[in-house]
Structure 1
Amino acid sequence: MFPEEYNTLKCNKILHSKNRLISISPFIDSCNILRVGGRLQNSNYTYDIKHPILLCSKHHLTKIMFKSYHLSLFHAGPQLLLANIRVTYWPLGGRNLAKQIVRTCIRCTRVKGKPIQVIMGNLPSERTQLDFPFLTTGLDFSAPVLIADRKGRGCKLLKSYICVFVCFAVRAVHLELVSDLTKESFLAVFSRFVARRGKPQRVYSDNSTTFVGALNQLKRLLQLSYNDLESDIANQGIEIYTTLFTSFWGHLGGSSKINQTSFTSYSSSYSSNL
C-alpha cells in the first residue's frame, strides 16, 4: 500500500505538497509500518489510537478486513463498522468502502429488502372530471380542538371539531367549525357549506355515526317535505339526491383523510407558538 509514499518517507524525504497524504502527516514507525501523524502526542490514548495504521480502501486486504469486522460485529451498519476499524486503522475512503460492504452483504440485503411497489389503478371519474369545485366532495372530522367561551364570567374551554371538506377534482379545502358530534350540528355545518360552495353532487365520508345519523334524518326530511319543496327547488335548478352519502372508498376517501391530517398537524404547530 502506498509504495511511492513509503519509499519517499523511508529515505527521510518530504512528500510533495500536492500529495494526497500530506494532510495526515504520515510517518514510518520503528516496525516499518506507515502510520498517521497528528497532534495527539500528549494525550492519554493508546499508541494505535493516536497513530492508526494507514490503509488504502482499494486494496484487496483492506476489503477482506472490512468484511471480517462486519461479520464479527453481527452485520453492523456503515457508521459502526467504520468507527470500530478506526480504533486501530485509518483507511483512506473508508466511509465509501463501509457503505459498499454493507450494501453488498447478502444477509443485510435480505433483512432490509423493500416490498414491490404496487401499480395503482386508474383514477375514478370523480377525481379527473371537473365541472365546478366541490361537485364531488369528501369530508372528515379533525381531532378535537379547544375554543374559549367568554360568555359570562370567566373563560371556559369547550371541545369542538373542524369539519374538513375536500374537492376530489382540484383538492380545494373548506373548513367549518363544529360545536359537537351530533347530527344536528353536522346538518348545520353542511348547510353552511352548501350556501358557500354550492350543492355537491356526491359526498363521500367514512360512515361514522354522525354521518349515518344525518343521512337517515335527511332521508326522512326529503320523503316528508318533497311535495312542498319540489316547486321551489325546481325553480332554482337544483336536483335532489337521496343518497348524499355513499360508502367509503379507500382511493377516494384517502384524499379527505390526508388533508384532515395535514390540517391537524399545521394547526397544532401554529397553536403551540401562540
Structure 2
Amino acid sequence: MPSEFALVAANELSIPFQRLSSFSRLVRTTAWVLRFARWCRKQRSEIERYGLTASECEAVENLLVRQAQLESFPDEMRSAEYGKDVASSSEIRGLAPYVDEHGVLRVYGRVDAALCMPYSARRPVILSHKHSLTELVVRQFHAQMKHQNVDATIAQIRTRFWVTKMRRVLKEVISSCNECKLQRTRPMPPIMGPLPEDRLEAGGWPFKYTGLDYFGPLLVTVSRHREKRWVALFTCLTTRAIHLELAHDLSTDSCIIAIRNFVCRRGPVHRLRSDNGKNFVGADREAK
C-alpha cells in the first residue's frame, strides 16, 4: 500500500468529494494537503520546493479513486484483492475487475500484465455512477471535449474511466451545464399585436388607408454639384402598393408638398398613418 494511503488511514482524513467544483481542483487541493502533512513530519524532498509534481498528482488521483471505489464497491474490492471472483449479483461482474499494484480497481485487459506498459495506458478505472467523484470526472471531460455530443464524450472518458451507466450520468451533467443550456435555447418570437382596422378594409380604393415614412438621404446632381434629397414612401395598408415622392429636405413644407403631390396622383386618403417625426407632426398641425 502506498504511503499516501497509509497516511490517510492513520489520520482518518475525510475527502470532501462533493464540496469542490472540479476534479482537477480536488486532485490539486488534496495533493497540497498531503504535502503539508509530509512537511509536518519532516518528510521534505528537494523537488517539493516548487509546484506540484506529476507523480504527486498521479498518487493523489489513485487515492481519490480508491476511496471512491471502497465506498461504492466494498465487496468487489475485497474479493479482487484476495484474487476471488466478484459476486454474480454485482453490476461490474461482466468487467472482470482486478486490483492493480496501486490498489485501484480496473477493467480486465489482456495487456495489463506488461510491466513496460505506461501507467496512463492501463485499462480504465471502474467508477460507480452513484458516487459524487464520478460526476466531477464526467464534468471535467465534458468541458475538455468542448461540450460535444454524448458519444464523443463517452469515448474520451473510457480511455481512462469505466463508469457504470455512464450515459445517464453524462446526460445529467449536460442538463445542468449552463453553457449547454445557452446553446440549446431558442429565441421566443414575440406575440404580435392585433391588426388595425385599416389593414382589414376590403372594399375601399387603393391608398384609402396609407402609411407614410421617409428614407434617405440620396445624393442627386443639381447643376454641377451634388445635394441630399429624401424620398417619401407612401404604402397602401390594404393592398401593400407603394408610391414614391421626392422630398427636398426634412422640413414640414417639403412634407406637405410631397403629400399634396401624392393626393393629386392617387386620389383622396381617408387616413394617413406615420410615426412622430417632426416633419410629420408639423404637417399634421398645418393640416388641422
On whether the aligned pair clears a TM of 0.5, the verdict is no
Please give the range of the TM-score, normalised by the shorter of the 2 chains: 0.3 to 0.5
Larger Rg: 2
TM-score by length of 2: 0.40
Structure possessing the higher relative contact order (Cα contacts under 8 Å, 6 or more residues apart): 1
TM-score by length of 1: 0.42
